[in-house]
Amino acid sequence: MANFFETLPDGWTIYLWLIIGAMIIVAVLYWIRWGAKNEQFDEDIKYVIFDEKDREKMTPAEYAKSREVINSQIESRNRFLADKAEKQK
């Protein structure tokens, strides 16, 4: 195997780096697409940690937003569980 690499012309390593770089870019694009399809880029996720005990610490608008986000998360979870149950049938 070492003899094979010695017989290659000068400059062959750049092509190896280009191929590896292209594979990394394809993998990153795949994972970004996966994240977007699976609701991983939700900017309102910070509201999920709040509960009823935090109501007096929040403005009415923040509290309403937190309830809205929690309800949408519950709906998303129910959708996921329904899809999973459907696939298992």
Q: State the pLDDT at residue 73.
A: 87
Residue 18 φ/ψ, nearest 5 degrees: -65, -40
pLDDT, tens digit, for every residue of 5-19? 778 788 888 998 999
Q: Residue 69, Cβ neighbours under 10 Å: how many?
A: 18
**pLDDT of 82 higher than 90:** yes
Handedness of CA 24, 25, 31, 32 (dihedral sign): positive
Q: Residue 83, Cβ neighbours under 10 Å: how many?
A: 10
pLDDT, tens digit, for every residue of 26-56? 999 999 999 988 878 877 877 878 788 888 8
Higher per-residue confidence, 1 vs 63: 63
